[in-house]
Amino acid sequence: MLQKNLEKLEFSKIKKILSDFAITDNGKDFALNLTPATCLDEAKKLLDETTESYILLFRKGSPPLEHVTDISIPLKTLENGGFLSATSLLNITNILKESRLLKEYFHSDIDTSFCLHLSDLFNNLYSNPKIEEIIYSSILDENTIADNASLKLSKLRKESRQLEINIRQKLLDCLHSSYIQEPIITIRSGRFVIPVKQECRSEVKGFVHDISSSGSTIFVEPITVFELNNRLNEIKLEENIEIEKILQNLSSLFYGLISELNKNVNIIGKIDFSFAKAKYAVSIDATEPILESKKIISLQKARHPLIPANVVVPISIKLGIDFSCLIITGPNTGGKTVALKTVGLLCVMASSGLYIPAAEKSSVYVFDKVFADIGDEQSIQESLSTFSSHITNIVEILHNATASSLVLLDELGSRNRSL
């Protein structure tokens, strides 16, 4: 269908609202890129997915969906045999966790055999609890590798903590001296130091690492802790090397799973999108439309979804049973244009797999094209008048419409369109 006709029916606004019900970026993208099906089978498939999600939403509640961080760059790093940061490893593992939780959600509590379409999505999610356990036990947060991530790291950190205790103990003995500016132990250039009065510099044997902005205090590393500080820095270097090895080993767990992870991200987005459709249906009190195989529209108490519920006036329209062409007449501001837009928009929504705000058993036909010449449309660049613009639209409709198309013409016989 031509995008301009969908724009006239304000379908893009529906998609934007729909995207707000999605949680993941992929889910939002699926919503924003939604297009109407042009054949019955495709439309039924889209609608069945919404129905399955709608039923699950009421029987099980919302699925455990969370925002999924973009992992495309980390996956490319893995493809090239590189290793990832702790943050990237956690992001990838979170996808495995979400996939596992989604599968548990789908297969727990109630029978889901009726979910013929959603079952393929949930069942194709890849999960690996063993890898989850390894990553989460090795990485505490984005900045912290656990001590037990390796035996060597555990030993290094144990020695590091003991060295810090020894250094602090030696420096504490100095803090009661008269040459100390303040009784504190601090760190400069990665080494433990004490603040010494400038005028007492000669009383402390050691190395100056910093001077206060006022110049009254110097930060000295006493000679008594020099070797201990050296060893502490050596351990930190060894610790960084060991952490890099740990990250390499953890990254290698995912080398053979790149395809599965990409698939998971896509599937999670589709599940999110499907439930977004169900949540949107609930928000506008919508019902499942019947998709007709014959060219019939039967809308009962249909409401325009963009008009507030306390303002909108429901309409009922039937086409294709006794007649296939309908002329709506009435005074200005009587709701003729809204009626046209309601019919067109609800047909487009139903063909896109969305529930519609109408009474139950309302039905629509899946049109191959929807044309809408609604409202004034001028093109300054082409120097077209309002009237010429409408004529252009009508000519286009005559050239492109088929027997299976829906054509919506607003004020076709108005004075400004007559010559």
| DSSP state for residue 293 in the 8-state scheme | S
pTM score, whole prediction: 0.85
pLDDT along the chain (419 residues), means of 10: 84 97 96 95 96 95 92 95 96 97 92 91 96 97 95 97 95 86 90 92 89 91 94 96 97 96 97 97 96 93 93 91 83 82 95 96 93 63 57 78 86 52
What's the pLDDT score for residue 237?
97
Please determine whether the domains at 18-145+254-283 and 287-413 fall in the same fold group of CATH: no
What's the pLDDT score for residue 416?
47
Q: How far apart are CA 322 and CA 374, in angstroms?
A: 25
Degrees (nearest 5) of the Cα angle 259, 264, 266? 100
What's the pLDDT score for residue 398?
80
Contact 337, 9 (CB under 8 A): no
- Label residue 133 exposed, middle or buried (CB < 10 Å: 0-12, 13-18, 19+): exposed
Question: Which CATH architecture does the domain made up of 18-145+254-283 adopt?
Answer: Orthogonal Bundle (1.10)
User: So where are the chain's domains?
Assistant: 18-145+254-283, 151-231, 287-413
| DSSP state for residue 191 in the 8-state scheme | E
To the question of domain 287-413 being in CATH 3.40.50.1820, the answer is no
What's the pLDDT score for residue 1?
58
Degrees (nearest 5) of the Cα angle 240, 245, 248? 125
What's the pLDDT score for residue 386?
61
Contacts of 104 (CB under 8 A, 6+ apart): none
Pairing of strands 139-141, 144-145: antiparallel
Q: How far is the CA of 414 from the CAs of 300, 329, 380, 383, in angstroms?
A: 28, 11, 23, 22
What's the pLDDT score for residue 330?
78
